[in-house]
Structure 1
Amino acid sequence: MTSPTPPLPSPARNTSFRRTAVIAAAADAALILLFAAIGRDAHQRGEIITGVLATAWPFLAGAAAGWLALRAWRAPLALWPAGVGVWLGTVAVGMLLRAFTGQTVVLPFVIVALLALGVFLLGYRLLAAAALRFRARRRRA
């Protein structure tokens, strides 16, 4: 006797999940670019657009690696494992790529990147979770 197959997700629900994953990935990328822009501005470096992209690309690659390794699209707004994994992947892979390409990797920068990207990449997920809980409570009331 075979077990029944689970029901397929409805197209509306599947679209909602896909949209959430795209928005979360875009938010991660935008916040990484913001981190790079703030850092470049703090150190008064020229080449605004190309400079920000040159600073950001290792971290963007790290975020992509984190997304792929964890399959974060399954629960992109979850703090654990998606948020923490993407955050740590962003910093770890980003710093390795910076080192391999001759960019600066010093302990103070690693600490600043870890803290700032943690606030950015985990912070919006915490806010999203709070907003979703608030909306769920309002629906029940």
Structure 2
Amino acid sequence: MNLRQAAIGAAALDAGAIVVFSAIGRASHDEGILGPGGSGLATTAWPFLAGAGIGWVLARAWRRPCDWRRTGLAVWASTLAGGMLLRAASGQGVQVSFVIVAGTFLAVSLIGWRVVSGWIATRRGLKG
């Protein structure tokens, strides 16, 4: 796998984790995936997706997409902070308990898959 493929895969994993997070949140509040007007999941996910995009740019994540320290931490922090700021700016709720739950889920998913990936690569002698 080349670096471009790794970056595309990493971006897809990040986006997928954010969409899953958003879908679980909507389901846990009985809001349904589509919600009123059919845009429920998109309305919930877009602030976090935008935050992740900003994190990717700031970390230049395409250079080391699977590095949990350089990329994972930056993408996680940007997804959480940017997502919450954009939610607040767009009139969506930002309660402390939500920030804690979001921070935990997003850390486990956005950093977690990178940690596992690095562990597998090290075991296979593919470090780098």
Q: Please indicate, yes or no, whether the TM-score normalized by the shorter chain is above 0.5.
A: yes
Q: Which residue of 2 aligns with 1:102?
A: 91
The counterpart of 2:9, out of the listed 14, 23, 27, is 23
Name the CA distance, whole Å, in 2 between partners of 1:111 and 1:47.
22
The counterpart of 2:49, out of the listed 52, 56, 60, is 60
Shift of the alpha carbon at 1:46? Answer: 2.7
Q: Which residue of 2 aligns with 1:91?
A: 80
Q: Which residue of 2 aligns with 1:77?
A: 66
Q: Which residue of 2 aligns with 1:131?
A: 120
Residue aligned with 1:136, SS: coil
Radius of gyration: which is bigger?
Answer: 1
Q: Which residue of 2 aligns with 1:44?
A: 30
Query: Residue type matched to 1:16 in 2?
Result: N
Name the CA distance, whole Å, in 2 between partners of 1:121 and 1:83.
6
Shift of the alpha carbon at 1:55? Answer: 0.4
Query: Residue type matched to 2:106 in 1?
Result: L
Show structure 2 runs of 5+ residues with no match: none
Show structure 1 runs of 5+ residues with no match: 1-14
**Higher RCO (C-alpha under 8 Å, 6+ residues apart):** 2
Measured on the aligned residues, the alpha-carbon RMSD in Å equals: 1.4
Residue aligned with 1:102, SS: coil
Output one character per residue of 1:82-110: Cα deviation in whole Å (capped at 9) or x when no partner: 00000000000000000000000010000
Shift of the alpha carbon at 1:47? Answer: 4.5
Q: Which residue of 1 aligns with 2:105?
A: 116
Q: Percent identity?
A: 46
Name the CA distance, whole Å, in 2 between partners of 1:70 and 1:77.
12
Q: How many residues align?
A: 123
